[in-house]
Amino acid sequence: MDKTEQILIKGCAAGERVFQTRLYDLYAPVMFGVCLRYSKNREEAEEILQEGFLRVFTYIGKFRGDGSFEGWIRKIMVNCALHRYRNQTKLQPVIRLDSSRHDVSADTDIASLLNAKELLSLIQSLPSAYRMVFNLYVFEGYKHREIAEALGISEGTSKSNLWDARAYLQKALAGKQKLVNYK
């Protein structure tokens, strides 16, 4: 941890607004990207970000310096997104996909057709259960056992949701490929 981070952490732990503002300005852009991946839209991502920074400022005095400070903040943001998901899961049904309709040719480089905004939009379009598992597995590096524990599901459900998320994304990408080839 560098000297600047140490000063920011001490100032934030003391409740000094100037340091809180500087810390927020420094980390909010990156953390907003994390929140966007876990949310269905920009507004929900902003809510997760705000909740996350409230927790950062509440618990900053407990940061021990083990690992990176940015990683610690990121973990808080992911946990806020998971908490939000767990509180909403009772309201959202899981969509089952017909697995026989997900053929995407392996030799086409569909991902190269997308920019970052389009890819984020596709991830946000995933049903929430699939989006959570996909993000935790692909971006956070969680194992299915860890995902199952975090989401309160079985390992088999985690694996199935990941497979379905990939199939959903492949189907969306295949549709995009057809549009590009049609033009």
Where do the structural domains in the chain lie, given as residue ranges? Answer: 3-90, 95-182
Amino acid at residue number 83 = H
Quote the distance between the C-alpha of residue 157 and its chain's center: 19
Q: Is the pTM of this model over 0.85?
A: no
Report the CATH number of the 3-90 domain: 1.10.1740.10
Q: What is the pLDDT of residues 50-82, one digit of tens each?
A: 999 999 999 999 998 888 999 999 999 999 999
Instruction: Tell whether the model's pLDDT for residue 181 goes beyond 70.
Output: no
List phi, psi (to 5°) of 124: -65, -25
pLDDT at residue 27, rounded to an integer? 97
Token pair belonging to 174: 């295949």
Q: What is the pLDDT of residues 81-127, one digit of tens each?
A: 999 998 886 544 444 444 443 343 443 344 555 678 888 899 999 99
Instruction: Tell whether the model's pLDDT for residue 180 goes beyond 70.
Output: no
Instruction: Give me the chain's average pLDDT, please.
Output: 85
Report the CATH number of the 95-182 domain: 1.10.10.10
Q: 153 falls in which pLDDT band (50, 70, 90)?
A: very high
Token pair belonging to 67: 């690992």
